[in-house]
Amino acid sequence: MRVTLLSGGTGGAKLARGLADAVGPGNLTVIANTGDDSEVHGAHVSPDPDLVTYWLADAIDERGYGIRGDTWQVMDALEEAGRPVWFRLGDRDLAMCLIRTEQLGAGRSLTDAHARVVEAMGVGARVLPMADEPVRTRVTADGHELGFQEFMIVRGAEGPLEKVAFDGIESARPTPAVLEALAGADAIVIGPSNPVVSIGPILALPGMRAAVAQSPAPVVAVSPFVRGEVLKGPTRLFCEHAGIDASAA
C-alpha cells in the first residue's frame, strides 16, 4: 500500500514514523512544508523536511527537534565570537544543512538537495519538499513582520496575530515528484500538523488542491486536536486567527 503524507513538523513527523512502520518505508512518501525554510549561519535550513527525516531515521532528539546526542561546538564558538545565535543548530544538524546548501550551490533543486540529506540519514522513505521554488511564511504580530522562525523563537510565538502570508506562493508549483506521489498513492493522508502554517502552505500551492482531488486515492485528514486541545505548538493561536474551529471536527 503506497501512502502519501502531507506534513509539517512535529505532529506530521510522528505520524510519518508510524506509517513507515505500518506500510514499510519504501511505500511511504512525505510531502513536507518548506514555508519555514530560512538561511541561518550561511546554511539553508529546512526545519520541517529535516524534522520528518530525523523522525524516520529514529534519530530525533528528546526535545522533539534536532538530532539525538548532538553537540554544540559550532554554536558555542559563534556565541564566543559575539555572533547572534537565536537559531541554534547542533553540529550534526548543521552538517545536514550544509549538505543541502552545497547541493543547492551546485545548481541542484531543493528536491535533489534534500534527497542527499535523506540518504545521509539512512532513511528508506521519500521526503519531498512541497516545491523547489522558495516559499516563506511571514507573520505580522503586534505591528512587526517576522519570518516564521523569528516569530516562533525570538518572539516566543506570542500574538496578537495580524497577518499570515506565504511569500512566493504564486510563483511556486508542486514538483513533478510531488505530483507523481499524489497520482500514484493508494491513500493520501493530511497529517496532524498546524493547519494554517504547516499544511496551509502546501495546499496553497497553485495546482496542489487539484492534484489531491484528482488522485484516485482516498484522502484522510488527521486532526492536530485531541479532545479540543492541541498537543504541541501554537496551533490554536493560528487557527483562531484564521477563523478555523479549534476542534477535531
Q: What is the mean pLDDT of residues 10-39?
A: 97
Side chain identity at residue 183, one-letter code: A
Per residue in 90-128, pLDDT (tens digit) is 999 999 999 999 999 999 999 999 999 999 999 999 999
Q: Pairing state of beta strands 43-45 and 38-40?
A: antiparallel
pLDDT band at 244 (very low <50, low <70, confident <90, very high): confident
Overall CATH class of domain 3-242: alpha beta
Strands of 144-147's sheet in order across:
144-147, 136-141, 161-167
Per residue in 32-65, pLDDT (tens digit) is 999 999 999 999 999 999 999 999 999 999 998 9
Per residue in 169-179, pLDDT (tens digit) is 999 999 999 99
pLDDT band at 248 (very low <50, low <70, confident <90, very high): low
Q: What is the pTM of this model?
A: 0.94
Q: What is the pLDDT of residue 159?
A: 75
Per residue in 181-225, pLDDT (tens digit) is 999 999 999 999 999 999 999 999 999 999 999 999 999 999 888
Per residue in 148-189, pLDDT (tens digit) is 888 888 888 887 889 999 999 999 999 999 999 999 999 999
Cell 471536527, residue located = 249
Q: What is the pLDDT of residue 234?
A: 82
Q: What is the pLDDT of residue 242?
A: 75
Residue pair 128/182 in contact (Cβ under 8 Å)? The answer is no
pLDDT at 249 over 80: no
Q: Which of 181, 182, 248 is nearest to 221 (CA)?
A: 248
Cell 495580524, residue located = 162
